[in-house]
Structure formats: structure tokens, C-alpha cells
Structure 1
Amino acid sequence: MKDPAVAGAPVSPPKAAKPPQDRSGYLFILPWFIGMAFTIIPFFASLYLAFTDYNLLNVPNWIGLENFAEMFSDETWWQSVKVTFVYTFVSVPLSLAAALGVAMLLNRGVRGLPVYRAIFYLPSLLGGSVALVLLWRYIFGLNGIVNAFLGFFGIEKIGWTSDPDYALTTLIILHIWTFGSPMVIFLAGLKQIPAMYYEAAAIDGATKWQQFRKITLPLLSPIIFFNLIQSLISSFQTFTQGFIFSGGKGGPANSTMFYNLYLYKQGFEQFHMGYASAMAWMLLIIIAAFTGLNFLMAKRWVHYDN
């Protein structure tokens, strides 16, 4: 029998062994794959439950789109959507504006920058904490610091926490105050803008406002876009502030009934797990829709280096 190599037949090269670093890489990402199992299974389970009648005690009963149809006739659901939308579309722009304003002040080369940066960043670390919301509730209480301050000017006490006209406003102020995280990102972006642009604009006679509009905003637009997306997603998922501030009731008069708070009440107080799952998927659709809309509009105002 002829040797294939002698006969001229092609000889396939031996398979190269995977380098050790590849095997190490798979080992390092193994925890991520394990963690994904604990995410993917509940993900698809909730999708199935969204089309069922399920209360944790019975076997899920398939009811199709009835849970989604029930939402549109649920007045409390509509109220939770309204509260969440007002909170998001008022607090997010104001919070980003405050973050950018403070970042520009800190970017002027003030002494002790790390100290100021830490002071302004600290509230954002505690923004969703129970302790901070309780403190905020005390500050804006009927006998709190805010009403005591207003009393010096002869203004009567305001029921910030008990009046439906003011309760949500109080939480919006809390959200604006916790602007530290986007501020740090803005500050990092401002430091990447070459100073020669501002020097050239000043020589040409551009005012500070014109420099801000023509230089700062366009070059900072990718950072603004990133902070906007992050803040929108976070605001739509607000829960702790409304739960602690209202004692889990969403009051007064459902004025702080955030979407996630109502979802929690349906799922874990009334055990309407099928309805709560449908609400969760509706929230996912809402967030995805606004995120996609922002990406479409970003083509008009977000400017990259290329």
C-alpha cells in the first residue's frame, strides 16, 4: 500500500491546540454564563406568566392577552404611568442640566477639586437608599427644615408629604439633587475638549454663551446622549423613593404611585403574578420604545469625531 505522502495526496495539517490564554479566558467568563442561567430562565418564565392567570398558589392558567387588555381599563395603572412619565420627563432634564452646570464650574480649575467632586457625588450614591428617602421625608415634613425656613418669610407650612399637589414634586427635587453620577461623567468629558478651541473662539470675538453653544455642547453631545439614556432607563424603573416616601401606599391619593410600585403591589401584595408579569413586559416595551426613539433622534444632534 502506497504512503499518501509519497503518492502526492494532500496531508491535512495537525490541529493546533488552543493556547492556554484561550482556556483561561473561557474560565474567567464561566461565572457570567452561570449567572445568565439565573437570568434567562426567569426572563422567559415571566413572558409565559404574562399570558396567564397565576397567583402563586394555582397552576398558571393561559388567558392570552387578557392581562394586557385589563391594563388599559385599569385607572390605577394609568395613574402609575402618568406619575412615572411626569417624574421622568421633569426630573431627568433638570438633573442633567444641574449636573452639566456644576461640572462646568468644577472644570474651571478650582482648588480641592477631588473634595468637591466627592461632595457632589455622594448624594447619588445614596439616591435610592432607604435612609436618604427617610431623611428627605423628615426634611420636607410638616415640622421639617424646609417649612421652618419658609416660616422666616411668613409662608404658611406646606404639606410636602401629605398634599397630592406637592408629594411628587418633593421626589423630583430629590432626584435632581442626586446628580453626582452624570456630573462626574460630564466633568471627564469636559476635560477632553482641547482648550485651543476656546482660545481661537475668544480671539474671533465669540462670547461665553456662543462658545458653550458652538463648542461645548457639540463636542459633549455623545456624553449628554449617554447620560440621557442612562437617566431615562433609571427613572422609568423608580421604586424605592415612592415606596419609602409613601409607606408603600403610593399616596397621598396615588400621587406617588410609580409604575414599579404598582407592579410590586399587584405581584407581592395581591399576588396577581400574571398581571404583574404583563406589567413588567409593558414597561420593557415602553423603555425600549423611548430608547429607540432617542437613538433615532441622536443622528440630528449627537456629533462624533468622525
Structure 2
Amino acid sequence: MSKVKSKHSLLKDLAVIRELAAKYQERKQIKFIREESFFFKKQTKKFSNKKKKAEYEEAFQLAKELSEKKTPLQLEEVKLLVYLLNEDAEILWTRDSIIAFNTTVLPKVPHLEWPYGYKGGAARLALLGLLGEDVSKRKPRDLDIVRVGKGRIARDKKLARKYMAKDSAFGWGVEVFSSLSQYMRTRDLTINEVMLSGYKLCCSFKCIVDTVSSTLRPSEQFFSQLTDKQKSKIAAKMIRFYSEAVFDGKDATLLLPPVPKPLPPFDIVLQLDKILERGTKAGELFIETCRSMNLLPKNADKDTSLGDVVNTLLE
């Protein structure tokens, strides 16, 4: 005889079913909310990247226009350019076409307080970070330390031995400048008119404009005083920077003044060795740029492979 469930039992089972159905519906709702949240985050990131790209393009166009100006750059123009890329940039002071920003410490660069600081790659990297690029995993090829002050002091040698071991072994150490203005006046390229000291980043107006626009040009006053041999050395360096920028997909501009042709093989090989750290393709781009400007020695100009060019230059 089959058992017939009582009305009470059926109602109890129905309540359980309803409870399970409600939980199932809740799970579906949670899943839906999660999916919506993921979609929203994805769309927000997409919108953020799109907005960032638009802001960069606007800043790049402004920088290109400013880089072609014949009249002196104005503070408000430079501030607008910086704020387009980093609205949180904090200006500490400005004077004599130099601007100082509050900045964060580069994770892969030892902290040095004023009057010491860094020139070259470390300073350029800090500026790129200030202008919105992610430099958290990047580090300069080497460290070049400078000091604003007078004479030589014991700490100069100590820092050189600690952070510039290779240079120190060859007699190169901390460079000393009487003032920040003197330091800026003696830079070879406008993109090198920058110094990182502690949480302070000092750079010229031209340095910011040419960094954003990827414009490679010499510092006019400094370049005009050089010998032909020194100009050739800087020309090779400029072509390497230009080739690296193009290799990175940037719309770079190379404003190379007249220099003796061809460039000395040693200058070419020195810069080629550095750019090859980025890979063979980057090295080939550097050589082709030299070739297009008729700067390769004749005996290397007809070589087709990178290896042949190097062998010829080293002969």
C-alpha cells in the first residue's frame, strides 16, 4: 500500500523547494552582478586607456608645435603640457626657464639628496615617470652623479666608488657645478637638461617640450663651442637616441646640425654597442639611419648585414 503524503508534508516539501529555488535565483543574481561588474571594469579600463591615449596625442601635438617655436617658451605653455599628461604634477619653483617638480623616488635608483643628484639616464627616466609613463620596472644603463657646489670633497670619491665603479676605475667621478644654471648650460642635448636630486626633479622648459615631442637636438650654446671631433661624438649619440625612440614606436624628430662626414668608426661602434642592448633590430635601425644620412665610412656603407658593418668598422 503506497504511502500518501499528508497535506502538511507536501507543504513542507514545497517550502524547501521554494527555498532552494530562491537560493538558486540568488546565485544567478550574484553571478549576473559579478559579470556586470567585470564588464563595467573592463569598459572603464577601456575608456580610461582611450582617454589617456587622447590626452597623450593632444600633448604630443602641443609639444610638436612648441618645439618649432622661434620665440622663448613660456611657463604657462609648459605647465599646460605637463598637466595634460599628469594633472597631479606638483611644481616646487620656477626661475630662468628652469622648473622644479616634486617627484617620487625611482625604485631602481639609490636615493641621493641635494646638493647631489643624477644626470643622464636616471634623470631622463624620472622625467618620463613624471610625464605619465610607467617606469617602475625600468632602470638606467648606468648612474652618473653630479653635485652643485664648489671644490672637491671626500664624499665625492666615496659615492663614485659605490655607484660609479666602472667610471671611477678610469678616473671619472662625480661632476661638480657651481650652480644649477651652469649645469643646464653645459648639457649636450636639450633632453639632458634635467637633474634628479632626492624628491626634486629640475629641468629646462626645452627639456620637457623635446622629451614629450621626442625631438632630438643639441643645446645650441654648448654645441657651437665644440670641436669637430666632439660634434661627431654627440651626433652619433643623437642618432642612437633617435633610433631608440623610433624603435619604441614614437614619432621622433632628429634635428642634427651639420657635422663632418663620415662619422669616426669608434663613435659609431660605441653607440651601436649601447643600442644593441635593445636587440639586433634596434642596432640595424641605428646603422640604417647613419647610412641614410651618409654618415657611414665608405668601406662600411656597402655592407648589407649588421655583422659585416661591425667587422668593417673594427678593421
Q: TM-score, normalised by structure 2?
A: 0.27
Higher relative contact order (CA 8 A, sep 6+): 1
- Choose between structure 1 and 2: higher helix proportion: 1
Mark the structure with the bigger radius of gyration: 2
TM, length-normalised to structure 1: 0.28
